[in-house]
A and B are shown apart, each in its own frame.
Chain A
Amino acid sequence: MNRINQKLEEDKKLLSIYFTAGYPNINDTVSVIENLEKSGVDMIEIGLPFSDPLADGPTIQSSSTKALHNGMTSERLFEQLKDVRKTVSIPLIIMGYFNPMLQYGVEEFCKKCQEVGIDGLIIPDLPVDVYNDNYKSIFEKYGLINVFLITPQTSEERIRFIDSISKGFIYMVSSASVTGSQSGFGAIQTNYFERIAEMKLKNPQIVGFGISNNETFTQATKHAKGAIIGSAFVKHLTTNGVDNIEDFVNTIL
């Protein structure tokens, strides 16, 4: 069974953390992952940096620019992750934009993911229908779960469709926004969280975008299975480097 599915069966609210690979320093990738696991994080999204991350706000974009400047590439990331499964057992997901994967070769990319022990992918700019028509069989061949996004604007019909083709969890984008642009959830989010909960989807949902502290984590996971923190953690890395990751995680849980 895929590690993501196993994790989703645990009877607890899940904390997933996003960070940009190769940031702040090129060789920090694995030590960030190890420290996150040690600190009690349930799942990790490893950001493969891209020059033009359309769905991201300034924090993640500038960490991506820095990581690329540090020399991060797809190849380099796979090298860094070569032995990660000797020390890390929580689910690992690569989050990245489609073009670098396309250039690497989608099948080759998926194969490498399987070799190093990646469990799933989040590719914001790979549309659901293109995935379904062209890439689904490749992802499945290498045991990878593709995670789809929904937003407050996604129609009920489309949510049902996305639920029907999802195999792990649904990434619930908390608001109409890029990453890192929210502070706190209001009535609109609460209504949206409730609306989705009432749909009784087959796949559990994990909320992302706008979660930065214990309060927003608690709000987001009232109905959902878990929450993802990105920009707030990247900011922590910017200030502290790989030190004190546990302190950051403790402020959330």
Chain B
Amino acid sequence: MKNKFELLFITLGLLSLLGGLFFGVVASLQFVFPDFLQSIPFYKTRPLHVSLVVAWIFLASIGGIYYYIPSQFGIKLYSKTMSVLHFIVFLITGIVIIIAYLMGKFGGREYWEFPPILAIPIIISWLLFGWNYFKTAFKITSEWPVYMWMWATGILFFLFTFSEAYVWMLPKIKENVIKEIAMQWKAYGALVGSWNMLVYGTAIFLMEKIKNDKSIGKSKIAFLAYFLGLTNLMFGWAHHIYNVPTAQWIRYVAYIISMTELILLAKIIYNWKKSVQESLKDFHVLPFKFLVASDVWIFLNLTLALMLSVPIINVYTHGTHITVAHAMGSTIGINTMILLASCLFLIDNYIQSKYSKIELKLIKIGYYAFNISLLIFWSSLIIAGIIKGVGIVKNGKGFQEVMNDIQPVMSVFSISGILLFLSLLMILLPPLKKSIRFLFNK
């Protein structure tokens, strides 16, 4: 199995995604029916959901990067042993984290709720990845296409921001709750930016491969978009904390920087017609279908993000389900869609056997069902958020009253979550079957 480590990352990633969505469904049902599955209560299912989905994003990106660089540039990976070690550390840490959650052992901050000591093996696994990546990447003699820059940035910034996510342990930060929240969200904002770098880099790589056009990753536009993304990763995070009484300039910087993303939105709208034509041309290619869906989700989420970054809108939407809509739209609609494209592409290249007609049909139906249920899911969160925001800020309603108001919408949200899970199963079962068979053969 040592020689199939890329596939191990991908397969474990797909399993994490299934697990992550499963706990998401359970958590959403518990939101509506608090008595549901008392043996694993909400305060455990929520972190299980988040951590498994984040693990999916990392595993799928990493597996792809390990596989694509050598094949694309005709070079050898610096060290296979290191990659296998990387996988083992990731797997063991992941299992320990899941056990800690199930036992109710927390101690960390939101999103990294596991006992802080487990941050150490995570850092080690990323150091292994980074070392291997740069040692390999510097063997490339031609100029780096933009996705190599993006992956490098993703790795460096993960290491930086993940460490930064632990400054709450320093006396200077822990003595003041406002400073602590500011540093926490500085780290988190950039951390999400760092995995976006890994994922968007993958998208550009796939686009090049599918379109068979090596100029895509070298174009000026691609690099300008990368630098704009990097600027937002670095300085845009404070739109998460407009309502926290940090120094005023921190919030102003974020407001101004966030608005630069209007350029990206304008670019999408400007190229609309051309993109549609380009998309139709290759829509029959299975992985490409997922890239097209991710483009639509980028448009929807970018529009939403821009609106949420305007303080006067944010004051209504902050602390409501609209924030969740944005998070779900980005992690499922954009990241998952791109990474599913990558996994399907990679598995097809890795394993030569073809899907049966029925399997292909299953994936295609799953694809449409997944996108439609995601749209319902996303919209219901936005509606719930609007009801909550207006209820509290404008009409001065109390918590209980607002929760009653959104109850019906949250039921729709839960049902669409179940559909989302089922349609994902339809997409995932054929490739999972294929890769697991291959892994355990010979």
Q: Do A and B bind each other?
A: no
Q: Which residues of B contact A (CB under 8 A)?
A: none
Chain A residues in the interface with B (C-beta under 8 A):
none
